[in-house]
Amino acid sequence: MPSGAVLAPGYPGCYLARLLSGEAMDSATHMLRTGRRGALFQLQMALRDLQNSFARIGLAWSLATHDVGSRYRGSVLGPFWITLSMGLMVLGIGFLYASLFNLALDQFLPYVALGIVFFGVMTGIINEGCDTFVHAASMLSQTSLPMFTFVWRVVFRNLINLAHHLVIVVGMLAFYGQWKVANVPLALLGIFLMLLNASWASLLAGIASARFRDIPQIVISVMQFAIFMTPVFWLPDRFGKHQVFLDFNPFYHLLQSVRAPLLGQTVSGHSYVVLVTMAVVGWLVTFLVFARTRRRIVHYL
């Protein structure tokens, strides 16, 4: 075992290095020289945390794969149980709504499948983001790992789940011949923008939840409300004269950027402007909040 490293319980073969020297010495030196930690220093430490998390991105992936593996240890289907449940939900809602509203099943079922799968990814990242630091309390208190590592852990965990759920997406598109019109590169751009926005929302929820333990329930309630107000399993044109309000629904733009290309439809430039603006403003605000609260998160836990 390397000098100064600690073996994390439950993580066979994985060593979590104690990264105390660099950040701790910088912090101590600054305190001795100035007697306080200014806003600029806090931003520098937050940026260093982000940089260190990218340098150790493999650790976040290892933690995510361990989470998924330990959750389904001993299970026959493993994560595919969720995929099976989601597939049944797609079939149930698809057949029911298609019958009620006289919709063409070959068009509506892929639409519903894509909506449920990708909205589920957003929901998972944001909801699980509430526990980003709470579940990592022991590691945060015993090591000097970058806090952003645990943000990427949540994102990677949901990407692993998405990889399993792609069975539904590929199956629906192939069965109904949608691959002929699917624009996969544009859909990948949409997935990137979706992850970029869901990540800052996840981090912000994690910071707030570390301080206020009622936040997770509020976030879950908001996401449950959002799925019904977003065209996940209903068509936008069914919204009638109120369709204009969809422009103020960020989840609509996030979902549309992924689903529309896979169905051979175009994504409006307005949606891309909204998504890029959300990403820039969201990450800027969230990073400033993180820089301000980074030293206190462990004490909140």
Half-sphere exposure of 269 (CA within 13 A, CB side): 0
Q: Helix or strand or coil: residue 15?
A: strand
Q: Which residues of 25-53 are buried (b: 16+ CB within 10 A; e: fewer)?
A: eeeeebeeeeeeeeeebbbebbeebbebb
Q: How many other CB atoms are found less than 10 A from the CB of residue 134?
A: 17
Tokens 């993180």, residue located = 290
- pLDDT recorded at residue 25: 47
d(CA 232, CA 229): 8
- pLDDT recorded at residue 37: 61
What ranges do the domains of the chain cover?
Answer: 38-300
- pLDDT recorded at residue 214: 92
Q: Helix or strand or coil: residue 184?
A: helix
Count of positions (residues) in the chain: 301
d(CA 91, CA 220): 24
d(CA 140, CA 147): 8
DSSP state at residue 258: H
Low-confidence ranges of the chain (pLDDT < 50): 1-36
- pLDDT recorded at residue 70: 85
Total H helices, total E strands in the chain: 11, 2
Helix (H) or strand (E) holding 215: helix 215-229
